[in-house]
Amino acid sequence: MVDLFAAGLLAAIQPQMLLLIFLGVVVGIIFGSIPGLTAVMAIALCLPMTYGMAPAAGMSLLVALFVGATSGGLIAAILLKIPGTPSSIATTFDGGPMMEKGEGVKALGAGIVFSFIGTILSIIALVFVAPALARVALSFGPHEYFAIAIFSLTLIATLSSGSMTMGIFSGLVGFAVSTVGIAPVDATRRFTFGMVELNSGFSILAVLVGMFAIAEVIKVAEAGRAGSNIRITAPVMKGVKGFGFSMKEFFEQLPNGFRSAVIGIVIGILPGIGAGTSNILAYIAARSRSRTPEEFGKGTLEGVVAPEAANNAGIGGAMIPLLTLGIPGDAVTAILLGGLMMHGIQPGPMLFVTQADLVYTIFAALTVSAIVMLIVEFYGLRIFVKLLAIPRHILLPMILVLCAVGAFGLASRIFDIWTVLGFGILGYAFVKAGIPTAPFIIGFILGPMAETNFRRGLQLSQGDYTGFLTNPISGAFLALAALSIIWQIWSGMRKRPARTSS
């Protein structure tokens, strides 16, 4: 393992790779810091640039974007009190007040350093857990994969924001969209309406770009010309130098940072609940364990360290199911999965056997990205702060054009751009109806996995359905899926009388 990681590190510090990682981190931080721009957009826009690259170089660029965008959210969260990304929501609670108290530099410094620590700890977990899990997963058959897909789908649908019916519905629609094209096992054409372009179904990237990037552009259009009057003014950064906190404060925050990182890693591994949730849970844990919980919300360093360590720790955590089982936990890892598949790489346990060098290059690229992120944010903070003032009505149309380029690049077809537009409208409709989009994406990706493995599993057990329940791993995951639904219904019913009485 050490040899493979060392070889990966050697590959990642080659000049071309370093340059790509540097660019990825910088672009990622820009997208993470500007509210309204997301990590998904950053990766979607840079994907066409990787078409001509070797898989290792392409994936290094994409993971660098992931690291940069996750960390970049803290800049707007602290300076503007607006989370650049959902993973920095809790950072605003104390980062904003610290800025108002004149401790903005300290908050930014602590956020950056503990983002770095969170990332590194999660990479360590990834390096040790992923190969072991992959070894276990090698023995998985269709029964296990079907159960894991159903468990993941249930988890994301029940835990996503909004009502549970909406979450499950969103997952089912995503699953339904994935049934377009040639069916697995018996190759029957479904829902193609005689269109040859639909035979292979919808591209995962077209769906993701449409649902996330185009829907965002339409949302800006909804605010109209009056909305463009809302201008974000970049804060004055005069006299900003260093990380702004002492070594004593650093050591005091270490247990909090470590605990938060563990929360981030564990939450990151679970499908469906990524950094958007872990930063809030880490904040709650930090407050309950703090000697001064009353200071939370008024501008305490602990309140910045906890969410920032947790959200970046989700990076390594989310990569574990992605690489070992091919299951993405959220939209960002879903688009990374798309990137891998575009380069002809099928994530799963076999990846660790057939392309171990690539896997370890990705691990190394993540490590180098974390270091680059620390350096770039330390020296380049003033520049990123200036970028916050770029008006969105100029930026988003350009992003739309780049999305169109990315979609066209999939197969040099205008059809794919229409698909992106169609899913953009669907994404906007979801937003207006209050239906969460994340379960849709996971349903779209895991749907074919569930269907294929269900039908194969039935073939293996000669049409006997009980095979899915008698297999210990499959049975356990299906039981967990059922428990998750029952628990959600029960907690919903428990809250209802309380609310009614209040």
Footprint of another protein on 1-40 (CB under 8 A): 35-36
The amino acid occupying position 487 is: W
461 is a site residue for another protein (CB under 8 A): no
Nearest to another protein of 51, 128 (CB atom) = 51
User: Per CB under 8 A, which of residues 401..430 are in contact with another protein?
Assistant: 401-402, 404-405, 408-409, 412, 414, 417-418, 421, 425, 428
Q: Which two tokens stand for residue 161?
A: 């924001």
Closest CA to 41 of 428, 398, 433, 391: 398
Contact 109, 243 (CB under 8 A): yes
Q: Rounded to whole angstroms, how far apart are CA atoms 76 and 73?
A: 6
Q: Rounded to whole angstroms, how far apart are CA atoms 185 and 196?
A: 19
The amino acid occupying position 114 is: F
Residue choice 151, 175, 384, 477 for contact with another protein (CB under 8 A) = 175
User: Per CB under 8 A, which of residues 84..103 are in contact with another protein?
Assistant: 86, 89-90, 92-93
Q: 190: which strand partners?
A: 181
Q: Rounded to whole angstroms, how far apart are CA atoms 428 and 484?
A: 29
Contact 94, 74 (CB under 8 A): no
| Rounded least distance, CB 133 to another protein, Å | 28
Closest CA to 295 of 98, 56, 128: 98
User: Per CB under 8 A, which of residues 49..88 are in contact with another protein?
Assistant: 49, 51-52, 81-83, 86
Q: Rounded to whole angstroms, how far apart are CA atoms 199 and 180?
A: 8
Contact 303, 296 (CB under 8 A): yes
Residue choice 14, 101, 128, 227 for contact with another protein (CB under 8 A) = 227
248 is a site residue for another protein (CB under 8 A): no
Contact 95, 78 (CB under 8 A): yes
Binding mask 463-482 for another protein (x = CB under 8 A): x-------------------
Kindly tell me the sign of the dihedral angle through the C-alpha atoms of 166, 400, 376, 99.
negative
456 is a site residue for another protein (CB under 8 A): no
169 is a site residue for another protein (CB under 8 A): yes
Q: 181: which strand partners?
A: 190
Eight-class DSSP state of 236? P
Stretch in the footprint of another protein (CB under 8 A) among 5-13, 111-119, 315-323, 454-462: 454-462
User: Per CB under 8 A, which of residues 269..308 are in contact with another protein?
Assistant: 280, 283-284, 287, 297
172 is a site residue for another protein (CB under 8 A): yes
168 is a site residue for another protein (CB under 8 A): yes
226 is a site residue for another protein (CB under 8 A): yes
241 is a site residue for another protein (CB under 8 A): no
228 is a site residue for another protein (CB under 8 A): yes
Stretch in the footprint of another protein (CB under 8 A) among 2-10, 172-180, 205-213, 233-241: 172-180
132 is a site residue for another protein (CB under 8 A): no
User: Per CB under 8 A, which of residues 321..380 are in contact with another protein?
Assistant: none
Residue choice 145, 454, 468, 477 for contact with another protein (CB under 8 A) = 454
Instruction: Spell out the residues 6+ positions from residue 139 whose beta carbon is closer than 8 angstroms to its own.
Output: none
| Rounded least distance, CB 367 to another protein, Å | 27
How many secondary structure helices (H) and strands (E) does the chain include? 21, 2
| Rounded least distance, CB 102 to another protein, Å | 22
| Rounded least distance, CB 250 to another protein, Å | 25
Q: Which two tokens stand for residue 115?
A: 């983002």
